[in-house]
Amino acid sequence: MNPEHIARSRSERLAIDRAARWPVGVFIGSSIFWLLAGSLLALVASIKLHDPEFIADNPWFTFGRARSAHLNAMAYGWLSSAGIGIGLWLLSRLCRVPIEDHRSLTLSAVFWNFGNLVGVWGIMRGDSTSIEWLEYPAYAAPFLLASFAFVTLAAFNLVRRRAPGHIYISQWYVMAGFIWLPMLYFTAHGLLVLAPVQAPAQPPINWWYAHNALGLWFTPIGLAAAYYLIPKIIGKPIHSYYLSAIGFWSLAFFYAWNGMHHLIGGPFPAFMVTASVVASVMMFIPVITVAINHHMTMKGHFRYLIHSPTLRFVVFGAMSYTLVSIQGSTMAIRVVNEITHFTHYTVGHAHLGVYGFASMVFFGAIYYIMPRLLATEWPSRWLIRLHFWPCAIGIAIYFIGLSVGGWLQGLALNRTDAPFMEIMEATIPYLKSRSIAGILMTIGHLAFGVSFIWMILRRRAATSETGPTLFSLPPQSADST
Amino acid sequence: MNRFHFIIIGSVLTLFSSMVGLVLLPIRGLGNFEAAPDPETGELVPPPLSALEARGRDVYVSMGCMYCHSQQVHPPSVRTDIDRMWGERRTVPRDYMQQGVAQMGTMRTGPDLSNIGVRNPSQDWHLIHLYDPQTTSPGSIMPPYRFLFRTQPIGESGPSPDALRLVDEFAPPKGYEVVPTDDALALVAYLQSLKLSTYEVPEAARARYESKRQ
Amino acid sequence: MLTAAIFVLIVMLILSAITVIAFSWAAGSGQFEDPADGARVIFDDDEPEGEPTDPNLSQFSETKRK
- Indicate which CATH number applies to the domain containing B172: 1.10.760.10
Question: Bridge-partner residues for B44, per DSSP?
Answer: B37
Q: What range defines the domain where residue C61 resides?
A: 37-66
In a domain, B178, yes or no: yes
Nearest alpha carbon to residue A370 among A101, A158, A82: A82
Residue A474 reports pLDDT greater than 50 = no
Burial string for A350-388 (b: 16+ CB within 10 Å, else e) reads ebbbbbbbbbbbbbbbbbbbbbbbbbbbbbbeebbebbb
**Same domain, yes or no, for C44 and C20?**
no
What residue in C sits closest to A466 (Cα-Cα)? C55
- On chain B, the residues whose CB falls within 8 A of the CB of A263 are 104
Task: Identify which of A252, A342, A413 has the shortest CB distance to residue B14.
Answer: A252
Nearest alpha carbon to residue A184 among A213, A158, A150: A213
Considering only residues A222 and B41, tell me which one the structure prediction assigns the higher pLDDT: A222
Contact of B80 with chain C, judged by CB distance below 8 Å, is answered with no
- On chain C, the residues whose CB falls within 8 A of the CB of A2 are 45
CB-based contact A462:A371 (threshold 8 Å): yes
CA distance A84 to chain B (A): 18
> Chain A 260-299, CB below 8 Å of chain B: which residues?
260, 262-263, 265-269, 272, 275-276
Residue A330 reports pLDDT greater than 90 = yes
Question: What local confidence, expressed as pLDDT, does residue A270 receive?
Answer: 87
Question: What local confidence, expressed as pLDDT, does residue A463 receive?
Answer: 47
C-contacting chains (≥3 CB pairs under 8 Å): A, B
CA distances from A410 to A234, A287, A420, B105 (A): 43, 27, 11, 16
Query: What's the CA gap between C53 and C49, in Å, rounded?
Result: 10
Contact of A468 with chain B, judged by CB distance below 8 Å, is answered with no
In a domain, B61, yes or no: yes
Question: What local confidence, expressed as pLDDT, does residue A245 receive?
Answer: 86
Question: What local confidence, expressed as pLDDT, does residue A469 receive?
Answer: 37
**Same domain, yes or no, for C13 and C41?**
no
Question: What local confidence, expressed as pLDDT, does residue B77 receive?
Answer: 86
pLDDT band at C23 (very low <50, low <70, confident <90, very high): low
Q: Is the dihedral of CA B43, B44, B46, B49 positive or negative?
A: negative
Question: What local confidence, expressed as pLDDT, does residue B99 receive?
Answer: 87
Query: What's the CA gap between A210 and A300, in Å, rounded?
Result: 38
Residue A464 reports pLDDT greater than 90 = no
Residue C29 reports pLDDT greater than 80 = no
Residue A131 reports pLDDT greater than 70 = yes
Considering only residues B78 and A478, tell me which one the structure prediction assigns the higher pLDDT: B78
CA distance A471 to chain C (A): 6
What residue in A sits closest to B137 (Cα-Cα)? A421
Task: Identify which of C4, C18, C32 has the shortest CB distance to residue B1.
Answer: C32
Question: What local confidence, expressed as pLDDT, does residue B3 receive?
Answer: 77
Contact of B29 with chain C, judged by CB distance below 8 Å, is answered with yes
- On chain A, the residues whose CB falls within 8 A of the CB of B15 are 180, 183-184, 212, 216, 252, 256
In a domain, B18, yes or no: no
Question: What local confidence, expressed as pLDDT, does residue B182 receive?
Answer: 97
CB-based contact A410:B74 (threshold 8 Å): no
Q: What is the pLDDT of residues A11-62, one digit of tens each?
A: 999 999 999 999 999 999 999 999 999 999 999 999 999 999 999 999 999 9
Question: What local confidence, expressed as pLDDT, does residue B202 receive?
Answer: 80
User: Helix or strand or coil: residue B210?
Assistant: helix
Q: What range defines the domain where residue B164 resides?
A: 49-212
**Same domain, yes or no, for C48 and C60?**
yes
Question: What local confidence, expressed as pLDDT, does residue B195 receive?
Answer: 94
Q: Do A237 and C36 touch (CB under 8 A)?
A: yes
Mean pLDDT of A428-455: 97
Domains in chain A, ordered, with CATH? 17-462 (1.20.210.10)
- On chain A, the residues whose CB falls within 8 A of the CB of B33 are 198, 200
Task: Identify which of B2, B13, B25 has the shortest CB distance to residue C15.
Answer: B13
Number of domains in chain B: 1
Considering only residues B213 and C19, tell me which one the structure prediction assigns the higher pLDDT: C19
Single-letter amino acid, residue A462 = A
In a domain, B80, yes or no: yes
Question: What local confidence, expressed as pLDDT, does residue B206 receive?
Answer: 63
Residue C1 reports pLDDT greater than 80 = no
**Same domain, yes or no, for C15 and C41?**
no
Question: What local confidence, expressed as pLDDT, does residue A471 receive?
Answer: 43
In a domain, B30, yes or no: no
Q: Find which of A236-245, A302-311, A408-417 is predicted with most confidence, using mean pLDDT.
A: A408-417
pLDDT band at A455 (very low <50, low <70, confident <90, very high): very high
In a domain, B40, yes or no: no
Single-letter amino acid, residue B200 = E
- On chain A, the residues whose CB falls within 8 A of the CB of B14 are 249, 252-253, 256
Question: What local confidence, expressed as pLDDT, does residue A246 receive?
Answer: 87
The secondary structure of A41-65 as a DSSP string is HHHHHHHHHH-TTTTTT-GGG-HHH
In a domain, B96, yes or no: yes
Question: What local confidence, expressed as pLDDT, does residue B2 receive?
Answer: 56
Query: What's the CA gap between A300 and A237, in Å, rounded?
Result: 13
- On chain C, the residues whose CB falls within 8 A of the CB of B21 are 8
In a domain, B85, yes or no: yes
Question: Bridge-partner residues for B36, per DSSP?
Answer: B45
Question: What local confidence, expressed as pLDDT, does residue A460 receive?
Answer: 59
Q: Do C41 and A231 touch (CB under 8 A)?
A: no
Of A284-293, B62-71, C26-35, give the lowest mean pLDDT range.
C26-35
ipTM for this model = 0.93
**A168, A307, A368, A381: best to mutate for the C interface, most C CBs within 10 A:** A307
Question: What local confidence, expressed as pLDDT, does residue B214 receive?
Answer: 47
CB-based contact B184:B149 (threshold 8 Å): yes
Query: What's the CA gap between A157 and A51, in Å, rounded?
Result: 51
Question: What local confidence, expressed as pLDDT, does residue A271 receive?
Answer: 85
Number of domains in chain C: 2
CB-based contact B145:A64 (threshold 8 Å): no
A418-423 contacts at long range (C-beta below 8 A, 24 or more positions apart): A420/B84, A420/B111, A421/B137, A421/B139, A421/B140
Residue A473 reports pLDDT greater than 60 = no
Nearest alpha carbon to residue C55 among A463, B36, A400, B89: A463
Q: Do C57 and A236 touch (CB under 8 A)?
A: no
The secondary structure of A286-354 as a DSSP string is HHHHHHHHHHHHHTT-TTHHHH-HHHHHHHHHHHHHHHHHHHHHHHTSHHHHHHHTBSHHHHHHHHIII
Contact of A69 with chain B, judged by CB distance below 8 Å, is answered with no
pLDDT band at B208 (very low <50, low <70, confident <90, very high): low
